[in-house]
Amino acid sequence: MTIRPILRYPDPRLLEPCQPVVMFDNTLQDLCDDLLQTMRAAPGVGITAAHVGELVRVSVIQLAPDEPLLIHINPHIISASTELQRFTEGSVSMPGFTEEVERPARIRFGFQDLSGTAHEGEAEGFLATCIQHEIDQLDGLFWLKRLSRLKRDRLIKKWEKHTR
| Catalytic option among 67, 122, 124, 134 | 134
- How many residues in the chain? 164
Which contiguous run of DSSP H or E holds residue 87?
strand 84-90
The dihedrals phi and psi of 122, each to the nearest 5 degrees, come to: -125, 145
Beta strand 106-112 pairing with 118-124:
antiparallel
What is the C-alpha to C-alpha distance for residues 113 and 162, in angstroms, rounded to an integer? 38
For the question of residue 16 being annotated catalytic, the response is no
- Say whether the peptide bond before residue 43 is cis (omega within 30 degrees of 0): yes
Which contiguous run of DSSP H or E holds residue 135?
helix 125-138
Strands (E), 28-83: 46-48, 58-61, 70-80
One-letter amino acid for residue 137 of the chain:
Q
The residues annotated with a catalytic role in the active site are: 134
